[in-house]
Each structure stands twice: as structure tokens, then as C-alpha cells.
Structure 1
Amino acid sequence: MSDPWTDAWAEAEASCPVSALIFETIELQHPAFLQDGIVIPLRFVLDVEPRTFGIEDGALFDAGEMVEFTPIAFEADMPTFSEGQLPQCRVRVDNVARELMPYLEAAVLVRADMKVLHRQYREDDLSEPAYGPVEYMLRAVKVSGSTVEGTASFADLTNWKFPSRVYTRKEFTSLASA
């Protein structure tokens, strides 16, 4: 997988009007995050008040809908890219609310990877992400007091099939039959 923070991303970031705020968000997904028996995502915005943002079409949860993100303090480094290693970064969530701890405790009991989706929204268009989502797998999670910290990396690239797109006659009618 190539570096998602390309020159095009840097140009788009630099061309954002100074008057438009950028909202950083993360979404946590895990099969143990249940509410009334239904799997839910946990969505957070780096802000001091709740914000409502649009979720992109094709998302696993609430595709095409406007949903509320909970304000929480978090930080996520830009992924490091080095030869022979999967890109990874550190994700830290501070002041984890009492409402979040039961979800994290439930996640410990279910053997599954936790997905982290990073999105950026521009204040002048909250209907869909201006950038993202970029999906990571969160591993090596540590809880210390009210802080949760882990290492996020892209999914195991060595196990992805290549090419990842399946070309079918239904989609590409000019393909010859075998």
C-alpha cells in the first residue's frame, strides 16, 4: 500500500481556506461493541463539543447518514513508512469516559482485531469526509488510568490478494468468456 499522505493530500491540506476548521475523527469498530445486542461503532471527534458529520457511502455502519461524534481528547501520529515493515502509528485516547470502559473490557474478552478509521472533515462541508477513511488495525493496546494507547497499523499487506479487484463479465461486458 502506498503512503496515504501523498503530495496530493499535502496540497489539499494547504489549499483549505484558513477560515475552515479541520475536524479530526476516529471510529473504533470491534465485534464486542454491542448496544442492545447490535454491533455499533464508537465515534470520536477531537473537539470539546459533539459534532455531526456525514458518513461516506459504502461504510460498514451508517453509510450516507449524518451521525454524531463524541468529543474526546485523542492523538494519532502520522504512520511511519520504512522498508520491510508495515506502516504503523501510535494512537492515544485520553480521559476515557466511564461509558467507554465497558466496551473496552468487552473487547478484551472477544478475540478479534479492533479497527480504527481515521477521517478528516472540513467545517465548510460536513456532509462527507474531506479525507479518509484510512483504516488501521489497533494492536498492543494498553490501558493506564484513564488513557488508552495502542499501535495502529495497516492490515497485513502480505495476506492481501493481488490484484485485489475481481473483474467480472457482469461489470466488464467486453471480457472474453473462457
Structure 2
Amino acid sequence: MPRSYSQHAREQLNATSAADILLTLLEIRHPLLAVPVRIVGDTQNIVAAGDEFLACAFDITLPDDSDNQLPQARLEIDNIGRELTQWLEQSGGGVGATCRILQVMRSTPDLVEFDITLDMSGLAMDRQKVAATLGYADLLNQPAVTVYYTPSTAPALF
């Protein structure tokens, strides 16, 4: 999935000392959450597309642009506060959660430069970090049936 940034964003990304920075926003949704968790990887809150994103430290590895593989990202959020850990315990490890990754420039927060929604899986938590793998389920490479006809499962056929 190619990323098509605006001309201003490309200039700022390639600048040695940029006047404007690209912010990464996360929106985590789950059926047990009444309101999605919205955070920005910055030191101050930001309002983008009408929603407020709270400042929170996190590390994210964005999915690469390879054509022959499913996009996969890695997310680590600092484990601050009890809200996130309580939700993880109530939801059975966040099963069924999705994470929307957005990138915006600080000067134009309503212009979304990058937007992708991925399924969250493999959530792990310790005292310092909450980590998750973001991607899609590989449904096309799963077997279509649960039992194959082999000499051990159906000896009368062979």
C-alpha cells in the first residue's frame, strides 16, 4: 500500500530541520469500549478531524509497502494509568480490537496524510509497556477443511 503524502508533508519529512512535524495518531476500538481510545505520540493533546487525541508516549513500527505480503505493524504503549490494563483484563486480552493509525501534520491536523485500520492481536502487558501486533488475519492461506482424507483418517479410501 503506497503512501501518498502531500507536497508539504514530503518537504517536511525530507528537511534537515523541519518547521512542522508529522504526528502519529492511534484510535483503538473494541466492543467493550464505549468511546474509542485516542492517543497521539506527542507531548501535547491535539484535535484532529473533530476528535481529541490525548498525548501519550508510544512506539510504533508502521507496516512496510511490500506488495506480496500482508501489512503488519508493531505497537508499544507506555503502561500508565489503570484504564488500559482494566480494559485488557475485561476483554480477555483485547480480542476483537482494531487500531486505526493516522498521520497528520501539526499545522494541518484535519488533513490526514496516512490512514490504515489493522486488527490487534498478541497483546502482552508488563509493568512498563503494553505491546501488540497489528495486521490482518491471513484468511486466504488457511485450510478450507478441518480434516483431510489421508490413509490414517480414512483408510478405506486408500
TM-score relative to the length of structure 1: 0.65
How many residues get paired? 137
In structure 2, do the counterparts of structure 1 residues 109 and 46 end up closer, same or farther at CA, with 3 Å as the change threshold? closer
The gaps in structure 2 that reach 5 residues or longer are 142-158
Q: CA deviation at 1:145?
A: 1.0
2:10 corresponds to which residue?
A: 14
Give the distance between the partners of 2:101 and 2:77, measured in 1 at CA.
13
1:105 positional shift = 1.8
Equivalents in 1 of 2:89, 2:2: separation in Å? 32
Structure 1 residues 14, 154: CA separation in 2 closer, same or farther (over 3 Å shift)? same
Amino acid at match of 1:29: R
Assess, with a 3 A threshold, how the Cα gap between structure 1 residues 84 and 22 changes in structure 2: closer, same or farther.
closer
Structure 1's 116 and 109: CA in aligned 2 closer, same or farther, altered over 3 A?
Answer: closer
1:78-97 to 2 correspondences below 5 Å: 78-80=62-64, 85-97=69-81
What is the Cα-based RMSD across aligned positions, in Å?
A: 2.7
What is the Cα deviation at residue 146 of structure 1? 3.1
Instruction: Tell me which amino acid in the other structure corresponds to 1:14.
Output: R
Q: Does 1:130 align with 2:125?
A: no
- Residue range with higher mean Cα deviation, 80-89 or 143-152: 80-89
Give aligned-pair identity as a percent: 24
C-alpha contact 1:53 1:68 (8 A) present in aligned 2? yes
Matched, 1:107 2:103: no
For structure 1, the 5+ residue unaligned runs are 34-38, 55-65, 160-178
